[in-house]
Structure formats: C-alpha cells, structure tokens
Amino acid sequence: MKISDYEQIVGKETIYELGLISKKLKKKKIQCINSTKVGGGVAEILTCLIPLMNDLGINATWDVINADPEYFNVTKAFHNALHGNVSDITRSMFDKFASTGEEILKSTKIYGDIVFVHDPQPIALVEKKTKQNKWLWRCHVDVSRPYMEVWEFLRRYIEQYDISVFSSPKFARQLEIPQFLVTPSIDPFSEKNKDLTPSEIDAALRRYDIERDKPIITQVSRFDYLKDPLGVIDAYRLVKKYIDCQLILAGNRAADDPEMDLVLNDINEKKGKDPDIHVLLIDPKTNDIDINAIQRASDVIVQKSIREGFALTVTEALWKAKPVVASAVGGIPQQVTNRYSGLLCHTVGGAALKIREFLNNPAYAERLGRNGKEHIRRNFLSTRHVRDYMLLFHYLYNPEDIIYL
C-alpha cells in the first residue's frame, strides 16, 4: 500500500502532516532488526511500517537474526519470565543466550544511522554500537512484573541503548536511559483487517466447518497459557447455561513458539466431546483472511489474557466494530474504555457475565463496537505508528522537551 491510500481512512491532512515530519529524516538509514519475518505481532507491524516509511522517503530496511532452535527455546523461556511466569530458568540458558549473542554479532551487519532492535532476541547486537549510530530498543513484552534474574541480565544490554520504547506506561521500569511510550497498531488494508464480502466470510467458515446457527464467541490468540484459553472455555460454559452458543479458539503456529503443543493438549482435554467448541489451528496459507473472517462472523470477541503485551487481536476486533470482552491487563485498557468501547473483566465469572450482557443486548453491543472502531481509527492505525517512530528518530538527534523542526 502507498501512504496516500490511507487518506480515505485517516484524512488528507494527517497524511500531509506525516510528509512534514519525514522531511528531515530522508538522509537517515533506519535498520530494523528482529527475530522472524513470519508469525507474531512484531513481524506483522514491520511488514506494514517498513514500506510506509520508504514511501515517505525514509530509507528503512528490515533484517532478521540467524540463530538455532535451542536459542529460540531460551528466548521463549526468557519471554515467559519477563511476563513474570517463573519457569525453569537455568544457568545454561544465560550461557546459551550469551554465546549465541556472540554469533549473532558476527553474522549481522550493522549499517543503519539508526538501529532499531525489537524484543530480547537480537538485544546483544548493541555491542556493535558506535558514535556514528543511534540505537533504540523496542520492547513488545509486558515487563511490569518480570522474573528479576532475567530482567537484570537483559538490563545490562538495554542500558547500552540510547533510548527504549514500551507499549504501555505499566511496563516502565527504573532504567538509566529514557523510556518512551509507543502503542502498536494495525494496518486497515492488511488481509487480516480489510473489509470482506459476506461470501468471503462464509467461505472461510466453511473451511473450518463452522455453522452460523448459534451466536459465536471467539478468542483469537496464540495457544499459550498466558492467553488463558482454559479460562475462556470455563467462561463459555457459564454463558451456555443461559444462551445456546458456540466457542471458537483460533490461533496459528509462530516460528519461535515451541510451547504450543502442550497448551493444545490441555485445551482438547478440557473441550472433551463438546461439538460447539471449535479449536482451530489456522492454515498458514490462509491465516490472515481466515482470522479476519472469523472475527467478522463473531458475535462477541473475547481476550481473556492473564498477561498481555498490547493485544493486537483486541485492536483488530475493535476495528471490525465488534463488541469486545477483555481482561484489564497489559495494553488492553488503553484500547477498551469500560462500557464505552467494550467491557473489561478480571475473572472467568466476570467474562461470562459480560458476554451474556452483549449477547442479550445487541443494540448496546453495536454501540460499543462502533465507539471502539472510531477509537482505533484515531489512535491505533499504522499511520499513527509511523508518526510516533519518526518522532523517536527526531528525538535521538534533538533530545529536548520542545523540538523545533
């Protein structure tokens, strides 16, 4: 997509303003680095933002690190530990992280004026920092209550960066470098978010044998304990006592997520023989369009996470004007203002009650869904994200309260 295509959604003046902000960045090379180009929110965001930055005249590129599967097992354990999930972190994991970090240093070429590193996997690259380039570390993880041994280990890398960027004020920690707030975004033109025709929606549902004969409650997420899929099944069963409905748990397989099979086993055990619970491992070939269709076909979207980064699945649901019931964790309260743009919950019982409220009051559900869509349009689309990143780039060269361009 071209940046001008977004005019129809965010307005001509917003696109013009992006052009103004980008003017003085045109001579800078921006090198983004993360761990994968496929699967997960970070890859989705970069897939959208890199072309938009280039269309604005900024020389932005995207590289991924090379590492063996064992390294990604370690970074997955670190990821869980940063979420506060006390897993079996061993000394050998730190050794593996450090030794693979050395290999990543050797195999990754740094050429950016601004090096923009995402999440912990490539974090050791900052050892290559020189006086000629600026370094940003972008954390997409909820680090509000991390397992401290892992956090302290990573902190020695983080504090070598010029600035850090988090998705929620709740994630701010004591750091010796400035910490900025940049919320993630969705691309309204992506396969996952673009408008679909009724026949496209029906075709996707047929691929998974879903009938629209009962209200559909859906949670879209990785199959991960932190997304509480078992709690969603409990909530669905409480709703089912009063309303004959069906539940969809839909997710895909991310390249760096080795824990998924364990979670799926537990879900299937809890599901038992209930034909109204659909556990869908979405086909990677049609993943985005299928997720889009399932969200659009749903009557209520749930995100009953125990921990969250920002929860882009909530953003996607709101953009489709869907009534959302979501836990008040991570970045969700920034998106869902309770009883204005959705309903927040804290427990299984609360989630069930609020799903029933929506299913029994369609006009109320529609009103909150409409408010949610407008909130996303103004605050959480790709154009705002590009703007915030450009502001960060400016700040690196002008670290003032008021920056005059």
Partner 1 sequence: MSKRTDKAKNPFQFYTSVKLRELTGRKARNLRELAETIKDVPGSVIYYHTHVFLQKHQSSSPEPPNDFAYWVSRVLGEYKLGEELASIDICEFSTIRELREKVINVIENYLFENKDPLRYAPRDEEFEFVKAHSLVMPTGFTAHSLKEFEEIIGKVTIHSIYFHIFEARLRLEKGVNDFSFWIGTSAGAPELAGAIAALDPYTFTMEGLRQKLMDSISKYGCNKK
Give me the residues that bind partner 1 (CB under 8 A), please: 11, 13-14, 16-17, 20-21, 144, 166, 169-175, 178-182, 328-329, 337, 340, 371, 374-375, 378-379, 387-388, 391-392, 394-395, 400-405
Least Å distance, CB 324 to partner 1, is 16
Cα–Cα distance for residue pair 172/179, rounded to 1 Å: 7
Q: Rounded to the nearest whole angstrom, what is the least distance from the CB of residue 55 to partner 1 in the complex?
A: 19
CA-angle at 327, arms to 85 and 226, nearest 5°: 25
28 or 296: CB nearest partner 1: 28
Angle (nearest 5°) at CA 361 between 245 and 243: 20
| 257 vs 308 by CB, closer to partner 1 | 308
Q: How far is the CB of 12 from partner 1 (least distance, A)?
A: 8
Question: Judged by CB, which is closer to partner 1: 256, or 308?
Answer: 308
Q: Report the residue number, 229 or 372, with the smaller CB distance to partner 1.
A: 372
First vs last C-alpha separation in the chain: 28
Handedness of CA 347, 373, 289, 73 (dihedral sign): negative
- The nearer residue to partner 1, 160 or 179, going by C-beta atoms, is 179
User: How crowded is the C-beta side of 64, counted as CA atoms within 13 Å?
Assistant: 14
Q: Cα–Cα distance between 64 and 66 in angstroms, integer?
A: 7
For partner 1, which is the closer residue by CB, 20 or 98?
20
Angstrom distance (rounded) from CA 140 to CA 181 = 11
Give residues with Cβ within 8 angstroms of 111, minimum separation 6.
29, 31
Q: What's the token pair of residue 25?
A: 């960045």
Minimum distance, C-beta of residue 341 to partner 1, in the bound complex (Å) = 8
DSSP annotation of 120 reads S
Q: Least separation, in Å, of the C-beta of 77 and partner 1?
A: 24
The torsion angles phi and psi of 141, rounded to 5 degrees, stand at: -105, 145
**Smallest distance, partner 1 to C-beta of residue 41, A:** 20
Least CB distance to partner 1 at residue 210 (A):
34
What sections of 159-259 are H helices per DSSP? 198-207, 229-240
Specify the residue, 134 or 240, whose C-beta has the smaller distance to partner 1: 134
